[in-house]
Structure formats: structure tokens, C-alpha cells
Amino acid sequence: MKDPIDSRQLQIFVVLARSGSLRSAAAELFLTNSAISHSIHALETSLDTKLFHRPGKFLELTGKGHLLLREAPGILSSMDRVRLQLTDEDATQNVSLRTAVGFNFARFMLPEVIGEWQLCFPKSKLTVRVADRDTCVKLMSDDAIDAAVLVDPPTEPEFSVDNLFEDELRLMVTADSPLANQGAVNMRSLRGKTFLTSRIQSHTTQMVLTEMRRQGCSFHETLELGNIDTVFEMVKLGGGIALVPDWIIERRPKDIHVVSRPLNNVHLIRRWGHVRRASGEYSVAARTFLRLCRRVAGNMAVNMSAAMLYIAMCPIWSDEWLLGAIS
């Protein structure tokens, strides 16, 4: 009988597959590069198969590696649920957690996190507020929430940050734009264009505008459209250009009227993190929420074929969630 898969090795495999880099995986897991390498070697030996190869700077999954990455989140999720079911019943029934997340995380990833949470804590309470990055940080500072998922986490010592994933902004243009004929676009080529965004005051929009100023140019105007779907529709109609995270592009239905292009003179990369107060209690609910967020981020990487990568649980949507979702 073959040995079962080691859960710790499987967790390390998922993180390494998502990051594609020993250094990034080691930093996220607070391990050394050699510890990561040893764990992966042991897993490959146990499975008698190669999971990674290195054609260049980053690690890439083999065919068998992709297969394991598709199955790993479900395996780890099942193990988490069993662990929680074996825990003292009162400890899991009475948990509650106050969280805040960004708008795009709420739209594209939060539903999957909530679904897993309901399975782990069917009688618990998870309160989710949907807000921009700076508001999430303020809520944390004011002790109004226990945890937040946001871009470019704060570096102040009062916060504890767990990395989730990185993404990169890509240019979205109509298919008949001259920019669509370029394999990659210089950001200075966007001078004088109309920039479409969901929210002008968002952290990401301000990052784009700051980079444009650093490049010595500016947009003709910046239009705030309220949500990502309207942004895509306006791009499709030729009303302007947008800079959108790669994983959101991959999750949308394909549209021959809209194309995405990378930028070739700058990389607009954002780091997503799970943030909590360093001095606060690290409860079983908080640890589970972090694991679920990591798992959903890992699933996102699988769906993209890339390794770079209340709610009072009855279920009733809270007013905070509803207001955030439709605003």
C-alpha cells in the first residue's frame, strides 16, 4: 500500500505552484528555500512523478503537476472540514468574524469563500463589508473589523499580513483600435486617451494615474463608471481604454470586440494580502477565513492555467453586503 499524500507537502506544493518561485513561496510560508525544495522533492518521490520543470526564470508545472493542482484545493478543503467537525462543537458553532474586502474580490472570489465557510461553520456568523482599500485599512485601525482582503497591504507594524497572490494590470481596448495591433503597448502610447475606471479614488486608479505622471504624460480624461461591467461595455463601444487585472480578464466571457494587451515599458503589479491586527486574537475563524481565501486564489490560478499567480450564515445577506455589491 502506498503512503498517503502528506497534507503539509501538498499545501507547500499549492503555494509554490501559485507563485512559480521558490523565493516567493518561502516568503509566504516563512520557510527557507531549501525547506521548500526538500518538501517538493519528498512529494515527487512519494508520488513517483515530476511536478515541476524550470524552462527559464520561473518554475512551471508539468502535466501531472497541473492535474495535482486541480485536485489539491478540494483535498485540502475536505481535510479542513473534517478537522473542524472533530473540534469541540461549541468552538465551531459560536464563532463569528467581521471582515472587509475589495469590490472585485467581492464580485469574483467572495462567493466561493462564503460557500466553503458555510460548510465549515454552518451556524456561525460572517459579516462582510465591501469597500475600497483605504477604507478597509481604516476599518482595521478603528477595530471595526477583524480581517480584510485588499491590494497593496499596509506595512505598519500594527498589522499582520499574509500574502495571497499577485496580479498585473493589462490594457483593454476595442478590437479595431490601432493599439490592438501591437503585441505589447508602451504606456506613453496612452497619452490623450480616455481612461475608464470603476472608481477614480480607488487605490488602483491612483496607482495608474501616478505612473502616467511618472511617464511624463496624462490621459485626456478619466471617467468613473461605477463597476467593471460598465467599463468593459464602454471599452467595447470604443469609449476609451481600461487597465484591468489579468485574472478578471480571464474570468470574463470571450468577446471578439475587445482585446487585452500587456504593457511593455512598465509592469503594474499589485500584491493582494489578508490583513489583521497584529495584537488581536488569531481565532479558528480567522485562520479558516485565511485558508479559504488562499484556496480560492489557488483555484483562480488553476482556472487561468497559470502558476504566478452577512452575511448571518442562515443564509441571509446583510445590508452592508447588499449596499457594497450594488454601489
* 3-state SS assignment for residue 270: strand
Residue 68 DSSP code: H
pLDDT at 94: 65
* Best CA proximity match to 48, nearest among 68, 22, 25: 68
Residues 313, 126: contact at Cβ < 8 Å?
A: yes
User: What is the average per-residue pLDDT within 50-70?
Assistant: 84
Burial of residue 30 (number of CB atoms within 10 Å: 0-12, 13-18, 19+):
exposed
pLDDT at 54: 78
User: What is the average per-residue pLDDT within 77-95?
Assistant: 64
Distance CA 170, CA 115 (A): 30
pLDDT at 314: 28
Residue 252 DSSP code: S
What's this model's pTM, rounded to 2 decimal places? 0.68
Where is 131: in which H helix or E strand? none
pLDDT at 192: 95
Identify which of 70-79, 133-142, 309-318 has the greatest average pLDDT.
133-142
Least reliable range by pLDDT among 149-163, 269-283, 300-314: 300-314
Domains of the chain by start residue, with CATH? 1-86 (1.10.10.10), 166-270 (3.40.190.10)
- Grid cell of 321 as nine digits: 453586503
Residues 142, 112: contact at Cβ < 8 Å?
A: no
Please provide the distance, in angstroms rounded to a whole number, between the alpha carbons at the two ends of the chain.
56
